[in-house]
A and B are shown apart, each in its own frame.
Chain A
Amino acid sequence: MRYGMAIDTKKCVGCADCVVACQTENSVPHGYARDWIAETVSGRYPYLELEIRSERCNHCDNTPCVRTCPTGASHVIEGGIVIVTPEECIGCGACIESCPYDARFTHPDGYATKCTFCDHRVKNGQDPACVSVCPTHCMYFGDLDDPNSEVAKIVARRKWKVLAPEAGTQPQIYYLV
């Protein structure tokens, strides 16, 4: 069992519905974001390329945030989902410093927080909020270890990239390009 996500940059229009859906689903306080939209424009007018990405915690296989956490508040649960237990977090910031994706931040209540892959939904067999609302159906979520899952199939079929692979984190969000 290995949860992962594939995001089709060819279909994504960067509307940020994923961001609002996350905010409402998880009651993320206003002014904070667990996911966000990034864009890369390359080339020179009129020969341009635009890549739009919905970004969030990559739920890495090699987790620097879990490694540097002094209390074990950051940990990996079933399916490779990285989560934080607020009651064990001292708010030292080590996990935030260790994340190459700047995916974590300090909740106004003091503990480190970030995308949970909506583990509360996933355990009921639902997709994470962001995936379930996406109007362009550009996000796929599921078990990468199951070759019959939609996400495993699309990762096998399409050309993809991950973010900052050189950071050695083995991220599990695949951007289809």
Chain B
Amino acid sequence: MKTTRRDFLKISSVAAGGLVFAPVLNWVPGFLKSDKPIPDDSKAKRYPNYCEVCFWNCAGWVYTDHDNKIWKIIGNEDDPHSNGRFCPRGTGGVGMYYDDDRLKKPLKRIGEAGAQQFVEIEWEEAIETIAKKMQEIAGKHGPESFALFNHGSSGKHFADLFNAYGSKNIAGPAYAQCKGPREEAFQVTFGHALHSPEPLDIRDTRCLVLIGSHLGENMHNGQVQEMAEAIDKQATIITVDPRFSTAASKSKFWLPIKPATDMALLLAWIHVIIEEELYDRKYVEELTFGFEQLKAHVKDYTPEWAYGITTIEPDVIRATAREMGAASPAVIVHPGRHVTWYGDDTQRLRAVAILNALLGSWGRRGGFYLPEKAKLPKYPTPENPKPTWTWRDVMPGQYPLASLPVTNVLVDASHPSYLGKHKVKAWMVAGTNLIATMPDLKRTIEAIQNLEYLVVIDTMPAEITGYADIVLPECTYLERYDMMRISEHRIPTFALRMPAAEPRWESKPGWWICKQIASKIGKGDYFKYEKYEDVLDFQLKEMGSSLEEMKKAGVKTFHRKEDLYFVEGHPHVFDTPTGKIELYSNLMIENGFDPLPKYITHAQPEAGFYRLIYGRTPAHTFSRTTNNANLNDLFRENPLWVHPKTAREWGLKTGDKVWLKNHQGVVSHFSTKVRVTERIRHDSVYMAHGFGRTDERLTRSFGIGISDTELISDVKIDKETGSTGMRSNFVTFLKENPHNSDKKEA
């Protein structure tokens, strides 16, 4: 390189005398040196783990620094979930460990429910009390009346405990508040639910269709990575979203659909694909059932018809359908993940599944690959007792397609208005903040207040802990062993979690808590191990590995047994009644539902109200990370996106403070700041989920932003699965603090 200005500068400053004086005068006594040297990766100690900040459970390494303190978390290159690269939440997982607001000791509530007034107690007393209460409730009402709400890895230990105890009323919001309808719609259509991570072959797709799925803002790590790869390979992306999402900005087509009309668009797409014969004819003939019925069914669902409903121009509907057809079978109509929107969600996801089937993407490269999973032997335990009733008996005959327990049914069974005989009397809540998770907050709280007992286990204080009789502090995933991560993927893998540090304060691992309780309620046989390492070592040795080996590798991968995609000429039998992909479903008829998805009109906001759309920010998982110092630093408050026209009508400017009131009169606790942006339709507002925390012990996130959940009081239940549709709430702006005027009136 020629002499640059930079070189010249160096020379000139030397000439100016720097060289003469500097060596002598730049001496600095050691004690004045302030920067600590940064450790060298290759020499630093590292411990394998898999991430618990979200459900993607990426495997990685936890590095420690010179003082053996947790320093950073980096992905494990052998892990197909992360491919060696974490998302911001995973990288920021260290903030979970270092959070001084964590729960430190077992707590016993002394104040009224919800008021967060506690005294610290010893572990022994806490376990003793819980065990006694569990036995008391089992004696009085039967163990079935004790329900478990769980989430995440350690939630599984608690599930083991409850199965041993005799209750199968174990539900996680991950089903009925998230992906339930999707799982059942794909089960009905393909005989295979999607699970997690979804078997989407995004990296090789030619066309990715996102319907309300904001990939890139939800950091479903592997999928975001593959979307970037697909962008590199010039794949077409079509995004259907009332908001110009990050994904929309990377799309060839952005369809700013009128919210709640997705079904009309899906049906019109199916119409065009059939009418213009864009579907995979051979695939449809060989592998699907009910094409003729479908064809007749969608005859009138023309793009022109859909235009009136969705506001998407007919030629755009046709153009996008043709893009999909051209890319077939390397096309993915993304099934999404959080799909509980309008109450006809199973049917909408059926339409998504049907569209994928027509395009022949299931089992095809660039579509849906066929996942495989490793099997780990079970640590021997006695047989679980058989409960006399389960959540299905609470409301017999309801929600026949739900394959997993439905959280809101358990809430219903706990509510004073429930008059049936299968009442739920007590809850244990492990790792899920139901207050920020379950819609219709009022009903949830009424149910909680009707309980005889509530135990909460978590790492952080949260709104739900305020109602608990006993709160148990769990240590974070960085401080404990847990079960192996076994998941479906392109290749079977499992991953180890081991502690990189001792638990802080008196927090304990979930398995330890379960073991203690079990032994006190006479179920010690179910947890017959000293340390969880014993279980892991037993399982790994059976698999021809060992705990020692896994501590060094972190992740173990296996060869596939079957092909990744369908092989030409090999007939495939689907796990459905007809053995084929069911475009038309008799199973749906048998259960009293439409065999083919139909368009239903959903309510639209009245004048002055706007549909509340919520979503993710890449920095946060649910409400659980808002107080994490590293992640709070990235994204502190959830601004409310407002279209410029709407903002003009209301006289709102970027940065203005607003409170929100929904169409049923529910007012937000706190305010948030307006962001006036072209990136949203005029009839909707948008904000990130998980903010507006009301627990004062959360020193970073308390009182910041608005909680979307508290404004979701109008819930549309999906009849097939019991899932809670949450996108039918409309809000209006309050420019003055509504809580001030309350006080004045009083």
Contacts and interface: CB of A to CB of B under 8 A. Distances in A.
* Whether chain A touches chain B in the assembled complex (some CB pair under 8 Å): yes
Nearest to B21: A72
A148 interface: no
A177 interface: no
Interface string B31-53: 01111111011100000000000
Nearest to A67: B9
A99 interface: no
Nearest to A32: B633
Interface in A95-134: 109, 111, 120-121, 124, 126, 132-134
B256 A31 contact: no
B221 interface: yes
Interface in A37-53: 41, 43-46, 48-50, 52
Contact of A16 (B33, B85, B88, B225): B88
B28 A87 contact: yes
A14 B36 contact: no
A86 interface: yes
| Chain A CB within 10 Å, residue with most, of B87, B228, B250 | B228
Contacts of B682: 45
Contact of B678 (A44, A52, A80, A121): A44
Contact of B85 (A26, A88, A111, A134): A134
Given A41-B678, A46-B254, A76-B6, A11 B232 contact: yes
B85 A45 contact: no
B94 A14 contact: no
Contacts of B643: 45
Contact of B249 (A31, A49, A62, A170): A49
Given A14-B246, A15-B618, A80 B6 contact: yes
Given A20-B92, A23-B630, A50-B246, A15 B678 contact: no
A113 to B, nearest CB: 9
Nearest to A13: B216
A41 B679 contact: yes
Interface in B1-60: 1, 4-6, 9-10, 13, 18, 22, 26, 28, 32-38, 40-42
Contact of B41 (A44, A61, A121, A145): A121
Contacts of A17: 85-88, 91, 618
Interface string B674-695: 0001110110000000000000
B618 A16 contact: yes
Contact of B32 (A2, A50, A87): A87
A20 B631 contact: yes
A43 B414 CA distance: 51
Given A26-B38, A44-B678, A137 B630 contact: no
B34 A86 contact: yes
A157 interface: no
8 contacts: A15-B88, A19-B633, A20-B91, A50-B246, A72-B22, A76-B9, A120-B38, A145-B1
The 8 closest A-B pairs by CB, nearest first: A13-B216, A136-B228, A50-B249, A15-B618, A24-B72, A17-B88, A87-B28, A20-B91
